[in-house]
Amino acid sequence: MDNLFSKITVTMKVNLGIALMFLPALVFAQKINQKEIKRSQALAKAVTIIRDNWGVPHIYGKTDASVVFGLMYAQCEDNFKGIERNYLYQLGKQAEVDGETNLYTDVQLQLIADSTDAIKDYNTSAPWFRKLLDAFADGVNYYLYKHPEVKPQVFKHFEPWYALMFTDGSVAATETGGLKLSETKEFYSAGPEKLGAVTGQPVKNIYDMVNERETGSNGFAISPSRSASGHALLYINPHVPFYFRSEVELVSNEGLNAYGAVTWGQFFIYQGFNQHCGWMHTSAYADVADLYAEKVSKKDGKWYYEYDGKLRPVTSRKLSFKIKKGDEMEQRTITGYYTHHGPILGSRDGKWLALKANNRSYNALVESWLIIKANNLAEYKRAMNMVSNATNSTVYADDKGNTIFWHGNYIPKRNPKYDWSLPVDGSTSATEWQGVHKLSEIITNINPATGWIQNCNSTPYTASGTSSPDKSKYPAYMAPDGENYRAITAIRILKDAKNLTLDGLVAKGYDHYLAAFDDLLPSLFNAYDAAPDSVKQVLAEPIKILQQWDRNTAIHSIASSLAIEWGTLMMKALPPPQTDQESTFITRRFQTLVKNVSAEQQLAWLNDVLKNLQSRFGTWKVEWGDMNRYQRPDDGITFDDSKPSIPVGLTGSGFGQLPSFQSRTLNTIKRYGYSGNSFIAVVEFGTRVKAKSIVNGGSSFDPASKNFADQEQGIIDGKFKDVLFYKKDVLKHAQHTYHPGDYFKQ
């Protein structure tokens, strides 16, 4: 230490640098002021964080605001990078880190959500809710103040209104009405005189998007008549990129007592439960955002659009971007255009497309908070009655035995004579929205007589078998009637299920059957039967293996390897759907596919699979677990065949498997999982809540922590840990107890 101080006296530059390392109060880069520090220190004293033996933070505070403060601090301890990344996206600032790669994603997000609106919402927010918003920002800023070694890429200081830019916890939270990023790029990268002359591209094939990340989910609710205990059960199974959310418990003296998954950077539990009820959100395909085709013209150097026979001026707003260029930062301004319908996101066939949506909403954030505090069905419905959540359906269960499914929440009223899945005419008032549907008007399934509810991002009209909602009672825009193979499997396993326990429901949720191959393989077998002998000789053994396969994936299954590799080539041949709604008709599209792909092509793809496997592994007889692996890299992104990994007998949900493990080669020979099952929970609502859960890998993001990979085998095998919901149980399994700001290392 004497040597250190002798060096400090040599130069003022070194003096300042060393001081900043050891004295957080002097870290001016974090921009926290003394008023914020004092406020945060008071909140920190009112919060206790208990990390259990799995690393899960249980956050106890006197007030709701103090718990929010503690939650954000704990999130930062675990994954500040994930929090900042989410806000780079939501605020349209990814180009500051990624350069040109994400510039037009930023353009799209800045067009869709104006930060000045979020600031206005903050300034006019209810006093009780403003306390939560302040606590949100204070929790992050206090963490940065106490951890000067953490270097934010962009955000040196979080503002309380940031939370109002990120009001939906879904992985697919931004609605664009079916308009794709390429269309935004084409429109806004063109010169001013070319605007309106650009023709957009078709909707991207849904399976190309799935190859990037899973965005589906499974939610099951079991009524007391079907459970062994006589209590309602809830199964929570979102499919998202691995490590997308954290597992937490929030408890305050103001009635908050909730457990579940929180999306990084948010302060409400997105999917979870409290002592009385639980909620599983699945991505809804209700049409909640529309594109308006605007007829534009230019007059005296200004843009106008036609509306009810008159010309209205197109408004504009300057969008500002910083773009990383090596070690430099380029400043760029892009002019965004708007009609009264909303921002112009792109164009097709010479018509500008304006988006009308509800992507950023003060009420949506309030609704999400009130949901986690609802202690009964009436309070839960009171929150849902705000009808402000634009992307989610809800599977619900409670301690009174209620099981309910709501398809969507925020659904605009429209004239049903129009096809709202396509851009509508923006030049007439006849296409204007007519308000928002009440909760009582949307597709709802309450306590179905069949005793079960399933939603796997498919049609709500088969959610409960014969007790499903009646399609004829609802307008077409409320829900497409498309089915997928996960839903077919869920219906099969739930319709006759009885005496279900928590473990029994988990086993149902981990069904390995790939229902898509019921449609795909017969076509391949027919092609083989009709093939010439020369082809049969080459393919005889692999065809026999596939014919004998029970269509369940397994670690030691060669058939799984052959089928999944071949089926992936088949899926790439699916014609792109023309709308988001059309993309939900998975079973129908597969059935059409097998009729349109020639027998010769199907057999050729199987032969390609054999050659590819032979080239990669030295034999085509590769067991699925030998090529399909789980590995959690220290940096989260660099997979390595030479490093330890775990065999996985699961696959992605595209072929109809309920549990999802989306994998691919990542500069590797073997396939590695990166998306699918993340946080899963199963809950029983009796006089006391009983629950089990599992997360991908572990709660910690520190490779040196025992909680970095302690749950990896459990999520692969479907072996869940007991949830420690009651404080008495938490204390028995506590490994760290501290206040925000205290030293902590997992």
pLDDT tens digits, residue range 685-718?
A: 999 999 999 999 999 999 999 999 999 999 999 9
Pair of tokens at residue 217: 């989910």
Which distant-in-sequence residues (6+ apart) come within 8 Å of 371 by Cβ?
268, 279, 380, 383, 384
For residues 563 and 628, give the distance between their C-alpha atoms in angstroms, rounded to a whole number: 13
Q: 290 a known binding residue?
A: yes
What's the CA gap between 678 and 661, in Å, rounded?
A: 9
548-593 confidence digits (pLDDT tens): 999 999 999 999 999 999 999 999 999 988 888 888 899 999 999 9
For residue 8, which amino acid is it? I
Q: CA 483, 485, 487 angle in degrees (round to 5)?
A: 65
Q: What pLDDT sits at residue 578?
A: 82
Strand ranges, E, within 265-327: 271-274, 277-283, 290-294, 296-299, 302-307, 310-313, 315-325
Judged against a pLDDT cut of 60, whether residue 5 lies above it is answered with no
**Amino acid 210: pLDDT:** 35
Q: Are strands 424-425 and 290-294 parallel, antiparallel or unpaired?
A: parallel
Which domains does the chain show, CATH number per domain? 31-166+725-745 (1.10.439.10), 218-288+360-418+426-510 (3.60.20.10), 289-357 (2.30.120.10), 515-649 (1.10.1400.10)
Smallest CA-to-CA distance from 705 within 679, 672, 742, 735 is with 735
The 3-state DSSP class for residue 435 equals coil
Give the pLDDT confidence score for residue 186 in this predicted structure: 94
Written as six digits, the tokens of 87 are 């806000």
Question: Does residue 217 carry a catalytic annotation?
Answer: yes
Catalytic residue, chosen from 170, 217, 458, 700, is 217
Tokens of 147: 């951890």
Residues sharing a CB contact under 8 Å with residue 236, sequence separation 6 or more, in sequence order: 219, 260, 261, 271, 272, 278, 280, 679, 680, 681, 682, 683
Tokens of residue 563, six digits: 């089928």
What is the torsional sign of CA 651, 657, 660, 664?
positive
Give the pLDDT score at 6: 34
pLDDT for residue 112 is more than 70: yes
* Predicted structure pTM score: 0.92
Does residue 281 sit in helix, strand or coil? strand
432 CB contacts (<8 Å, ≥6 apart)?
none
Q: pLDDT band at 27, cuts 50/70/90?
A: very low
Q: Which residue has the higher pLDDT, 30 or 2?
A: 30
Question: Annotation-wise, does 287 bind a ligand?
Answer: yes
With bands split at pLDDT 50, 70 and 90, how would you rate the model's confidence at 684? very high
Burial 723-741 (b: 16+ CB within 10 A, else e): bbbeeeebeeeeeeeebbb
What is the rounded CA–CA span in Å between residue 414 and residue 478? 10
The helix-helix angle for 127-146 and 34-45 (nearest 10°) equals: 100
29: confidence class by pLDDT, cuts 50, 70, 90: very low
Q: Mind giving me the DSSP string for 507-572?
A: HHHT--B-TTHHHHHHHHHHHHHTS-HHHHHHHHHHHHHHHH--SB--TT-HHHHHHHHHHHHHHH
